[in-house]
Amino acid sequence: MILVYDGTFECYLSLVYEVYYKKISVEAVKREFAHALMLEEHREVVFNEEKSLKVKNKV
């Protein structure tokens, strides 16, 4: 699976949460959606303050 996020550090922390706690197998992480991704399984990760803070406090 390819994960797409907005490029911010906070959203990246939300992405880390999603991968770790939901046990997602990730092939790549991209900052923006590319047309080539349309043929591959992808998921857009949006900022979640609670998840981001949880990861930030654990680091």
Mean pLDDT of 51-59: 91
Q: How far apart are CA 6 and CA 15, in angstroms?
A: 10
Whole-prediction pTM value?
Answer: 0.80
Residue 56 has pLDDT above 70, yes or no: yes
Could you read off the pLDDT of 1-54 as tens digits, one per residue?
889 999 999 999 999 999 999 999 999 898 877 665 566 788 889 999 999 999
Residues in the chain: 59
Predicted pLDDT at 32: 77
Predicted pLDDT at 42: 81
Domain that holds residue 52: 2-58
**Number of separate domains in the chain:** 1
Predicted pLDDT at 35: 61
